[in-house]
C-alpha cells in the first residue's frame, strides 16, 4: 500500500502529463493487485483527470467509472466522480447521460450551485424550458440574496437567448428588460452598451425597427463616453436599423464606417459578411452597380477565409442582381455556383454530423461496455477474494485445531505423567502398607512369644510358690505373698502395654488399607478421564482431516489436480513445456452491440449460463479451462497431464458447444447471444501458475496467439482450425480447406472448417 501511495504522490509532483500518467498507472496496478480499494479510487480519479486533460475521453471515462464502482454513494469522492462524468458527457453532447450523473450529484448535494446551473443548461439544450426555469430560478433567488448582479445577469442572459432561439420574443424581451433594470442601476457604460445592443437586435428579430433603432442609439451614446470593444458591430446594427426605417443613406454611412474599421484590422472573415450585407442594402435600393461591387468583395473575402455559407449567399445575391439586369447567362452561372456551394455545405455538415454522432455512439457504448467489464472484474475479484478468505479461514481453522490438538496432547501427557506419579505414590503406599503388615506380623509373633514367656513364667511362679510352700518353712507366708503380688502386678502392667501396642498396630493397618482403597479409586477415575480425552482427540483429528480435505478441494477448484498437488508439496509450481497441446477459443458474435442492450446484471447472468455449460463440456472431454476474457472462453487439451487425443477432444468439445448454443436458442426465446465463432490450433505451449498471492493457471506461446487469430478469422457457427489440428482429426471429421488467410503478425496461415 505504501508503494502505491508513494507512486501516486510522485505522479502529482511530476512535470508532464505523460510522466504523471505512467506513474499513476503503475500505482493503480499495484493497488489492484493488493485489493487496496482506497488506492484504486485515488489513482483512478487522478488518471481520469490526466486523460481528460489530454483529450483521451474514453480512457478518462474508464478510469472515472472504475472509481465510481469502488465508492460508496454520497461520499465526497463520489460527488467529484459523478460531477466529472457529467461534465464529460455534457461536453460530448450526450445530454441524457450527463443529466443522470448531475442528478446524482444534486441528490447528495442539493446546494451544488455549479451543477444546478449545468442542469439548467442541459434542460435548455433538450428544449425543456420549464425544467430550465426551475433550476435557474433557484439560482436567481440565491444571487439576488447575495447581491451578485453579474451572475444574475448571466442567468437572465441564458434565459433570454434560449427563448430567443425558441422564437418566443415576449419572454426573451422580458428577461432582457430584467437585465436592463440591473445594468442601468449597477452596470458600467460598457455593460450598458452591450445590453442596448442585444435589446436592439432582439427588436430587429421582431421587426420592430423603431425600438431597435432607439436601443442602438443608446448603445452609440454610451460609446461616446467609453471606448467600445466592438464599434463595428454597433455601426452595422445601426446601419441595418436605419435602412429598415427608411433611412437607407444614413444606414449605408454607418455600414461603411463599420467596413473601414474591419479593413483597418484586416478582419477578412467579418468583412466578407459585412460586404454581403452592404450589397444587400444597395440591392434593395435597386443600386445594382454598388450591389455587385460590394458583393464581389464579399465573394473575394469569403473565398479567402473559406466561409462557404457566406460564399453561397453572395453567389445567390449575384445571381439575383444579374437576373434583374437581364444578364441571364451570368445569373445562371452564379446560381449554379450557389447550388454547388449549398450541396458542399450540406455534405460537409452531414459528414460532420455523422462523425459527431459516431463519436457520441462510441462513447455511449463505451460507458456500457466499461461498466460491464468493471462489474465483471469486480465479480471475479470478489469471487477470488472469497476464495482467498475461505482459504485463510480454513488455514486459521486448521491452525486452531492443530493448537487445540496439541493442547489436548499436552493435557494427555500431563495426565499420563500425573498417572505415573500417582502410580508411584500408590506403589510407595503399597510398599509402606506391606512394611506395616510385616511389622504387624512381627509384632504378633512377638506377642505370641511374650505370651509363651508369660505362661512359662507363670508356671515357674506356681512351681516356686509350691516349692516355697513346701520347702521354705522359715519364710513367713506374708512375705511370700507380698512378693507374689508384686510379680502379678508387674505381669498385669506388661499385658496392658502389649494390648496398647497391638491396638496401635491395628489402627495403622486400617489406615493403610483405607489409603490403598482411595488410591485404587483415583487410579480408576484417572484411567476413565484418559480414555475420554483420547476419544475427544480422535474426534478432533477427524474434524481437522475433514477441514483439510475442504481446503484441498477448494485449491483443486482453482488449479488443476497435478499443479495443486505440486503446489501443496513444494510451495510452488514449476512452469512446464508441452511439445503438443490443443488450444480452443470461443467468442460471441456482435457482443459489444448486444451487451449495450442489457444491464450489467443481466449480461453477467447471460455469460455465466453459457460459460458454466462450456465448463461442463470441457470437463466431459478432458479439456482444462484456462480463463475467460470478456465474452471469450479459452480452454486447452493435452495438459497438465499430456495425452495423444487432445486435438480430437478439442474438436468434439467445440461441436458440443455449438450444439448446446443452438439448443439453447431454440428453447430460450429471451437468449441474447445466438452465434459464436470457434478457433482451434495444435502446437507447443508453456503452462504454469503465475502470481504470488492470487494463483492463476495460464498458458503461453505462439500456439495460444494463433488459436485466438483463428477464432477472429472464423465465421459464425463454424469451427476454424489450423493445418496442424486438421491433420490430427481428418481421419474422424471432414475438414474443408479455406486456403491461406492473412493473419496479423503471422503472415499467411492455412485454415480449415470442420464440417458439422
Q: What is the pLDDT of residue 662?
A: 92
| Strand partners for 208 | none
Last residue of a domain, one of 330, 353, 376: 353
Cα–Cα distance, 392 to 146 (Å, whole number): 59
Beta-carbon-side half-sphere exposure of residue 39 (alpha carbons within 13 Å): 22
* DSSP string for residues in 334-377: HHHHHHHHHHHHHHHHHHHHHHHHHHHHHHHHHHHHHHHHHHHH
Strand, coil or helix: 635: strand
For residue 185, what are the CA distances in angstroms to 83, 142, 172, 173, 432?
Answer: 36, 19, 20, 18, 123
Distance CA 736, CA 755 (A): 7
Examine the fold and report which residue of 332, 353, 374 is the final residue of a domain before the chain moves on. Answer: 353
Q: What is the DSSP letter of 143?
A: H
Query: In angstroms, what CA-CA distances link 649 with 24, 328, 635, 664?
Result: 45, 82, 11, 22
Query: Are 530 and 616 in a shared domain?
Result: no
Same domain, 537 and 407: yes
Name the burial class of residue 510, with classes exposed (0-12), middle (13-18) and buried (19+) by CB atoms within 10 angstroms of its CB. Answer: exposed
Rounded Cα distance, 589 and 53, in Å:
35
For 28, what's the count of Cα atoms within 13 Å in the CB-facing half-sphere?
21
CA dihedral in degrees (51, 56, 62, 66; nearest 10)?
A: 10
Residue 217 lies in a domain: no
Distance separating alpha carbons of residues 123 and 96, to the nearest angstrom: 10
pTM beyond cutoff 0.85: no
For residue 745, tell me if it sits in a domain. Answer: yes
409 lies in some domain: yes
Q: Locate cell 425558441: which residue?
A: 166
Helix, coil or strand: residue 738: strand
What is the distance between the alpha carbons of residues 110 and 108, in angstroms, rounded to a whole number?
6
* CB-facing half-sphere around the CA of 589: CA atoms within 13 A: 13
Residue 55 grid cell: 483529450
Name the strand (E) or helix (H) holding 403: helix 328-471
The whole-angstrom separation of Cα 412 and Cα 418 is 9
> Per residue in 216-247, pLDDT tens?
777 777 666 666 667 787 788 888 888 888 88
> Which domain CATH number covers 466?
1.10.287
Q: pLDDT per residue over 201-220, tens digit each?
A: 777 776 777 877 777 777 77
Would 74 be classed as within a structural domain? yes
- φ and ψ at residue 738, rounded to 5 degrees: -105, -5
Q: What are 692's three cell numbers?
A: 504470488
The count of structural domains within the chain is 4
| Residue 147 CB-density burial (10 A; 0-12 exposed, 13-18 middle, 19+ buried) | exposed
* Confidence at residue 623, expressed as pLDDT on a 0 to 100 scale: 93
Same domain, 623 and 697: yes
pLDDT at residue 580 in the model? 92
Answer for the pair 325, 288: CB distance below 8 angstroms, yes or no: yes
**Do both 664 and 720 map to the same domain?**
yes
- 299's enclosing H/E stretch is helix 288-305
User: In this structure, how many other beta carbons lie within 10 angstroms of the beta carbon of residue 396?
Assistant: 10
- Rounded distance between C-alpha atoms, residue 638 and residue 246, angstroms: 95
* Angstrom distances, CA of residue 374 to CA of 52, 60, 492, 630: 19, 14, 114, 10
517 within domain boundaries: yes
Cβ–Cβ contacts within 10 Å for residue 469, how many? 11
Q: Say how far apart CA 318 and CA 329 lie, in whole Å.
A: 12
ω into 640 cis (within 30 of 0): yes
Question: What are the CA-CA distances from residue 294 to residues 171, 274, 275, 299, 334 (Å)?
Answer: 37, 9, 5, 9, 15
CB burial class (10 A; 0-12, 13-18, 19+) of residue 755? exposed
Contact yes or no for 327/353 (Cβ under 8 A): no
Note whether residue 90 is domain-resident.
Answer: yes
Rounded CA gap, 659 and 670, in Å?
18
Question: Is the domain of 532 the same as that of 464?
Answer: yes
Q: pLDDT by residue (tens digit) across 367-381?
A: 565 555 555 655 555
581 and 536, same domain (yes or no): no
Residue-level pLDDT at 519: 63
Whether 318 maps to a domain, the answer reads yes
* Residue-level pLDDT at 754: 94
Residues 583 and 710 in one domain: yes
Q: CA 742, CA 725: separation in Å to the nearest integer?
A: 18
Q: Which helix (H) or strand (E) element contains residue 119? A: helix 113-125
Which three cell numbers, joined as nine digits, stand for 292?
Answer: 455587385
User: Cα separation of 92 and 364, whole Å?
Assistant: 10
Phi, psi of 751 (to 5 degrees): -125, 155
Of 126, 150, 135, 141, nearest to 105 (Cα)?
135
Residue 744 and residue 607 in one domain: yes
The verdict on 538 and 622 lying in the same domain is no
Residue 304's domain is classified under what CATH number? 1.25.40.10
Q: Hey, is 588 helix, strand or coil?
A: strand
Is residue 443 domain-shared with residue 522, that is, in the same domain? yes
Is 221 part of a structural domain of the chain? no
Q: Which domain holds residue 75?
A: 1-102
Residues 652 and 741 in one domain: yes
Partnered with residue 736 across adjacent β-strands are: 753
Same domain, 537 and 611: no
Question: Residues of 95-105 as b/e, b for ≥16 C-beta within 10 angstroms?
Answer: bebbbebbebb
Closest CA to 178 of 200, 199, 193: 199
Domain boundary among 102, 121, 139: 102
Angle at 413 between CA 411 and CA 415, to 5 degrees: 65
| Burial degree of 64 (CB within 10 A; 0-12, 13-18, 19+) | buried
Which residues of the chain register pLDDT less than 50? 475
CATH label of the domain that carries residue 727: 3.30.70.1230
Contact of 61 with 39, CB cutoff 8 Å: no
- State residue 635 phi and psi, 5-degree precision: -145, 170
CB 683 within 8 A of CB 580: yes
With contact defined as beta carbons under 8 Å apart, do 117 and 135 qualify?
A: yes
Amino acid at each position: 500500500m505504501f508503494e502505491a501511495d508513494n507512486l501516486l504522490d510522485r505522479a502529482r509532483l511530476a512535470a508532464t502529463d505523460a510522466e504523471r500518467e505512467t506513474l499513476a498507472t503503475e500505482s493503480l496496478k499495484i493497488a489492484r493487485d493488493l485489493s487496496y480499494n482506497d488506492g484504486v479510487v485515488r489513482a483512478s480519479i487522478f488518471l481520469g483527470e490526466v486523460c481528460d486533460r489530454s483529450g483521451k475521453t474514453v480512457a478518462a471515462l474508464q478510469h472515472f467509472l472504475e472509481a465510481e464502482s469502488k465508492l460508496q454513494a454520497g461520499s465526497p469522492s463520489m460527488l467529484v466522480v459523478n460531477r466529472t462524468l457529467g461534465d464529460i458527457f455534457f461536453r460530448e453532447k450526450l445530454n441524457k447521460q450527463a443529466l443522470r450523473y448531475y442528478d446524482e450529484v444534486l441528490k447528495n448535494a442539493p446546494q451544488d450551485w455549479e451543477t444546478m446551473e449545468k442542469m439548467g443548461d442541459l434542460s435548455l439544450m433538450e428544449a425543456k424550458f420549464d425544467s430550465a426555469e426551475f433550476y435557474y430560478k433557484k439560482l436567481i433567488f440565491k444571487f439576488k440574496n447575495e447581491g451578485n448582479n453579474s451572475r444574475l445577469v448571466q442567468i437572465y442572459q441564458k434565459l433570454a437567448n434560449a427563448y430567443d432561439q425558441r422564437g418566443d420574443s415576449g419572454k426573451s424581451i422580458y428577461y432582457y428588460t430584467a437585465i436592463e433594470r440591473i445594468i442601468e442601476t449597477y452596470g458600467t457604460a460598457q455593460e450598458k452598451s452591450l445590453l442596448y445592443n442585444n435589446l436592439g437586435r432582439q427588436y430587429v428579430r421582431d421587426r420592430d425597427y423603431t425600438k431597435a433603432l432607439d436601443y442602438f442609439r443608446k448603445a452609440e451614446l454610451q460609446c461616446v463616453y467609453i471606448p467600445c470593444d466592438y464599434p463595428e458591430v454597433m455601426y452595422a446594427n445601426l446601419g441595418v436599423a436605419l435602412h429598415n426605417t427608411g433611412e437607407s443613406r444614413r444606414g449605408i454611412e454607418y455600414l461603411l464606417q463599420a467596413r473601414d474599421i474591419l479593413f483597418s484590422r484586416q478582419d477578412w472573415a467579418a468583412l466578407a459578411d459585412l460586404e454581403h450585407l452592404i450589397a444587400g442594402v444597395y440591392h434593395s435600393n435597386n443600386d445594382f452597380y454598388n450591389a455587385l461591387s460590394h458583393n464581389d468583395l464579399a465573394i473575394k473575402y469569403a473565398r479567402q477565409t473559406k466561409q462557404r455559407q457566406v460564399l453561397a449567399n453572395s453567389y445567390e445575391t449575384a445571381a439575383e442582381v444579374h437576373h434583374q439586369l437581364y444578364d441571364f447567362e451570368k445569373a445562371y452561372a452564379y446560381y449554379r455556383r450557389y447550388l454547388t456551394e449549398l450541396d458542399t455545405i450540406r455534405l460537409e455538415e452531414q459528414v460532420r454530423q455523422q462523425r459527431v454522432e459516431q463519436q457520441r455512439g462510441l462513447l455511449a457504448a463505451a460507458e456500457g461496455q466499461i461498466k460491464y467489464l468493471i462489474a465483471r472484474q469486480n465479480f471475479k475479484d470478489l469471487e477470488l477474494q472469497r476464495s482467498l478468505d475461505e482459504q485463510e479461514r480454513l488455514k486459521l481453522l486448521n491452525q486452531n485445531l492443530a493448537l487445540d490438538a496439541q493442547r489436548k496432547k499436552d493435557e494427555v501427557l500431563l495426565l499420563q505423567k500425573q498417572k505415573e506419579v500417582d502410580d508411584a505414590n500408590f506403589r510407595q503406599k503399597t510398599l509402606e502398607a506391606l512394611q506395616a503388615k510385616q511389622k504387624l506380623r512381627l509384632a504378633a509373633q512377638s506377642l505370641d512369644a511374650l505370651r509363651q514367656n508369660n505362661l512359662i513364667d507363670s508356671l515357674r511362679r506356681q512351681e516356686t510358690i509350691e516349692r516355697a510352700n513346701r520347702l521354705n518353712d522359715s519364710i513367713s507366708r506374708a512375705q511370700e505373698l507380698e512378693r507374689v503380688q508384686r510379680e502379678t502386678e508387674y505381669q498385669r502392667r506388661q499385658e496392658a502395654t502389649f494390648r496398647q501396642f497391638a491396638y496401635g498396630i491395628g489402627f495403622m493397618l486400617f489406615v493403610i488399607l483405607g489409603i490403598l482403597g482411595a488410591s485404587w479409586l483415583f487410579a480408576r477415575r484417572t484411567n476413565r478421564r484418559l480414555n475420554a480425552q483420547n476419544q475427544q482427540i480422535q474426534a478432533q483429528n477427524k474434524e481437522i482431516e475433514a477441514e483439510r480435505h475442504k481446503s484441498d478441494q477448494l485449491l483443486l477448484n482453482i488449479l488443476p489436480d497435478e499443479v495443486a498437488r505440486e503446489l501443496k508439496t513444494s510451495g510452488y509450481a514449476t512452469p512446464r513445456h508441452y511439445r503438443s497441446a490443443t488450444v480452443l477459443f470461443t467468442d460471441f458474435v456482435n457482443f459489444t452491440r448486444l451487451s449495450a442492450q442489457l444491464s450489467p446484471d443481466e449480461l453477467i447472468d447471460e455469460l455465466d449460463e453459457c460459460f458454466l455449460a462450456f465448463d461442463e463440456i470441457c470437463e466431459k472431454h478432458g479439456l482444462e479451462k484456462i480463463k475467460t476474457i470478456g465474452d471469450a472462453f479459452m480452454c486447452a487439451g493435452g495438459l497438465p497431464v499430456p495425452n495423444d487425443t487432445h486435438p480430437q477432444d478439442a474438436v468434439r468439445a467445440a461441436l458440443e458447444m455449438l450444439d448446446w448454443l443452438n439448443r439453447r436458442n431454440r428453447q430460450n426465446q429471451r437468449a441474447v447471444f445466438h452465434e459464436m465463432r470457434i478457433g482451434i490450433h495444435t502446437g507447443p505451449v508453456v503452462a504454469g501458475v503465475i502470481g504470488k498471492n492470487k494463483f492463476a493457471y495460464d498458458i503461453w506461446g505462439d500456439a495460444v496467439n494463433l488459436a485466438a487469430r483463428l477464432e477472429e478469422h472464423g465465421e459464425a457457427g463454424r469451427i476454424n482450425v489450423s493445418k496442424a489440428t486438421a491433420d490430427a482429426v481428418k481421419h474422424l471429421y471432414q475438414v474443408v480447406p479455406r486456403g491461406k488467410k492473412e493473419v496479423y503478425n503471422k503472415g499467411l496461415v492455412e485454415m480449415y472448417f470442420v464440417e458439422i
